[in-house]
Amino acid sequence: MTRRGAARAVVPGAALLAALAAPWLAPRPPGLQEDPAGARLLPPLTRAAAIPIGEHSTWIVRSLERTREGWTFVRAGRPGFLPHERIAGPPEARFYLLGTDALGRDLASRLPYALRHSGGVAALAVALALVIGIAVGAGAAFGGRIWDAALMRSVDVLMSIPRLLLFLICATLLGPSTLLLILVLGATTWTGLARVARAQLMALRTSDLALAARAVGPSFARLLVGHLLPQIAPVIAVTAALRFADTILLESGLAFLGLGSPPPAVSLGGMIAAGREALSEAWWVAAWPGLAIAALVVALRSMTAGLLRVNDPPSLQ
């Protein structure tokens, strides 16, 4: 059981590591366009070479061979030749593990950064949603009938508007930016968490545990944070992990529509959108970020299923 649980955490753990270690993992900077023509849409596992030409420019070429007069190669599908004196330095080997996109950028370098960006946005959004959701849930559970009704009806209203449309409106209000993305994703994610927190706290409110804790006379904040929240933490954690997976999916959808973080940022959905443009020539540009999302979401969901079983042994069968 615990062994399987550990196995389930492998993919999210690897994704987290890849995201954190992006600067060391990526062979080159994620936005680097060394040679947009020569490195355009190279398939995965391409072995190529970079020839420095002059001060600032580089040619990415394949089947490089040294002859007596210079170098022969194939660049952008056409054979070429450069005499020794045109080359500014010795050619370097380049290996494109995942291939390149239409601007000649290395996908293996972009993927960890995209994971870092999308994962970071989703994590911050879920953290914000946790704070709002628990606060609203606690307010509804302990604030009396009127607060309960008012807060929960607002949750109903917010849940009736499709999140994507809500975000569409907000994105046009303020123009796309990463901060706005996080705020709006957080502000549309808390509703489900608030429902869960309220239901859990309602059940705890009249328990002996709450009574005993209250007898000592702590402040409400202390009662909530010190005594009640630890009780509902497992359920909240599972809900938050599921929301995290949903938020990754939603964020990538927004980025795909061109409403995610603006350009210098690399996101998984943005990479897929770039892949859509190149789809008729190259499958690999869209494939990797999509596979990364799917793997991450599958792993997160099965991990939470495992967590639920640990917390609730009767459902083990």
Partner 1 sequence: MIGFAVRRIISALPLVVGVLTLVFLLVQLVPGDPFRRAEGPDVSREAADRLGEAFGTDRPLPERYLSWLANFLGGDLGTSYSLRRPVTVLLKEAIGNTMLLAGLAIALQFLLGTGAGIAAARLHGSAIDRAVGGAAGILYALPSYWLGLLLTWTLSVRLGWLPASQMHAIDAHDFGPLQRALDALRHLVLPCLSLALPAAGGIALYVRDEMRAALGRGFVQGVRARGVGEAGVILRHGLSNALLPVVNLLGLALPGLVGGSVVIEVLFAWPGMGRLAYQAVLAQDEPLVLGCVWIASLMVIGGNLLADLLSAALDPRVREVVS
Q: Whose Cβ is closer to partner 1: residue 59's or residue 190's?
A: 190
Q: Whose Cβ is closer to partner 1: residue 2's or residue 317's?
A: 317
Helix (H) and strand (E) counts in the chain: 12, 5
Q: 3-state class of 284 per DSSP?
A: helix
| SS3 per-residue string spanning 198-253 | HHHHHHHHCCHHHHHHHHCCCCHHHHHHHHHHHHHHHHHHHHHHHHHHHHHHHHHH
Q: Which region, left, alpha or beta, applies to residue 77 given φ > 0 means left and ψ of -120 to 50 means alpha?
A: left
Find the shortest distance in angstroms from Cβ 37 to partner 1.
Answer: 23
CA dist 25 and 83 (Å) reads 35
Find the shortest distance in angstroms from Cβ 53 to partner 1.
Answer: 35
Find the shortest distance in angstroms from Cβ 153 to partner 1.
Answer: 7
Buried b (16+ CB within 10 A) or exposed e, 152-162: beebeeeeeee
Q: Whose Cβ is closer to partner 1: residue 219's or residue 317's?
A: 317
Identify whether the C-beta of residue 100 lies closer than 8 Å to the C-beta of residue 106. Answer: yes
Return residues touching partner 1 (CB under 8 A): 153-154, 156-166, 168-173, 245, 249-250, 252-253, 256-257, 269, 272, 275-276, 279-280, 283, 286-287, 290, 293-295, 297-298, 301-302, 317
Q: How far is CA 163 from CA 21, 123, 168, 177, 280, in A?
A: 32, 17, 9, 17, 31
Other CB atoms within a 10 A radius of the CB of residue 285 amount to 26
Find the shortest distance in angstroms from Cβ 1 to partner 1.
Answer: 18
Find the shortest distance in angstroms from Cβ 297 to partner 1.
Answer: 4
Find the shortest distance in angstroms from Cβ 203 to partner 1.
Answer: 17
Other CB atoms within a 10 A radius of the CB of residue 204 amount to 17
Which residue type occupies 163? R
Find the shortest distance in angstroms from Cβ 98 to partner 1.
Answer: 16
Q: Whose Cβ is closer to partner 1: residue 211's or residue 279's?
A: 279
Find the shortest distance in angstroms from Cβ 159 to partner 1.
Answer: 7
Give the residue from 246, 234, 233 showing the smallest Cα distance to 296.
246
Q: Whose Cβ is closer to partner 1: residue 229's or residue 257's?
A: 257
Q: Whose Cβ is closer to partner 1: residue 169's or residue 209's?
A: 169
Q: Whose Cβ is closer to partner 1: residue 92's or residue 281's?
A: 281
78-83 and 46-53 strand pairing: unpaired
Q: Whose Cβ is closer to partner 1: residue 8's or residue 40's?
A: 8
Burial of 54 per CB tally in 10 Å (0-12, 13-18, 19+) = exposed
Give the H or E element holding residue 134: helix 107-142
